[in-house]
Chains A and B, each alone.
Chain A
Amino acid sequence: MAKELLVVGAGTGGLMLSNQVARQLAREIARGEVRVTLLGDRDEYLYQPGLLYIPFGRVQLQDLIRPVRDLLVPGVTFLHDRAERIDPETRTVTTRGGRRLTYDYLVLATGSHVDVAQVPGLAEGGHWFYTVDGALRLRETLARFSGGRVVIAAGLPYKCPVAPLEFTFLLDEWTRERGIRDKTEIVYAFPLGRAHSIESVADWAAAEFEKRGIRLETFFNLESVDPVKQEVTSLEGTTLGYDLLVVIPPHRGDTLARDSGLTGGDTWIPTDRHTLQVGRYDNIFAIGDATGLPVSKAGSVAHFQAEVLAANLVSLLTGGSPSHRYNGKAFCFIETGLDRATYITFDYTHPPQVTPPTRWVHLLKQAYNRIHWLNLKAVL
Chain B
Amino acid sequence: MADKVIDARGSFCPGPMMELIRAVKEAKVGETIAVLSTDSGSKRDIPLWVQKAGHELVGVIEHKGYDEIVVRKLR
Contact = CB atoms under 8 A, between A and B. Distances in A.
Nearest to B48: A193
Given A161-B14, A197-B12, A351-B12, A294 B52 contact: no
A349 B13 contact: no
A351 B9 CA distance: 12
A27 to B, nearest CB: 38
Interface in B6-28: 6-19, 21-22, 25-26
Given A157-B22, A221-B25, A294-B19, A193 B13 contact: no
A235 interface: yes
Given A157-B18, A157-B22, A236 B13 contact: no
Given A157-B22, A221-B25, A237-B54, A296 B45 contact: no
Contacts, number: 79
Given A156-B22, A221-B21, A199 B41 contact: yes
A346 B39 CA distance: 14
A88 interface: no
Interface in A198-244: 198-199, 219, 221, 235-237
Contacts of B48: 193, 219
A345 B41 CA distance: 19
A295 B41 CA distance: 17
Nearest to B8: A294
A224 to B, nearest CB: 13
A198 B25 contact: no
Given A192-B49, A328-B10, A330-B13, A235 B25 contact: yes
B21 A161 contact: no
B53 interface: yes
Interface in A318-347: 328, 330, 332, 344, 346-347
A344 B13 CA distance: 11
B18 to A, nearest CB: 6
Contact of B18 (A197, A330, A344, A348): A197
B19 to A, nearest CB: 5
A191 interface: yes
B48 to A, nearest CB: 6
Contacts of A191: 18, 21
- The residue among A156, A157, A237, A266 with the most chain B CB atoms within 10 A of its own CB is A156
Nearest to B7: A294
B37 to A, nearest CB: 9
Nearest to B22: A156
Contacts of B41: 199
Contacts of B22: 156-157, 250
A219 B10 contact: no
A221 B18 CA distance: 10
A255 B17 CA distance: 25
Interface in A280-324: 294-296
Interface string B21-52: 11001100000000000000100010011001
Interface of A: 156-157, 161, 191-193, 196-199, 219, 221, 235-237, 250, 266, 273, 294-296, 328, 330, 332, 344, 346-349, 351-352
Given A219-B49, A236-B49, A296-B13, 5 more contacts: A197-B15, A294-B10, A294-B16, A295-B13, A348-B10
Interface of B: 6-19, 21-22, 25-26, 41, 45, 48-49, 52-54
In order of increasing CB-CB distance, the 4 nearest A-B pairs are A348-B10, A294-B11, A197-B15, A156-B22
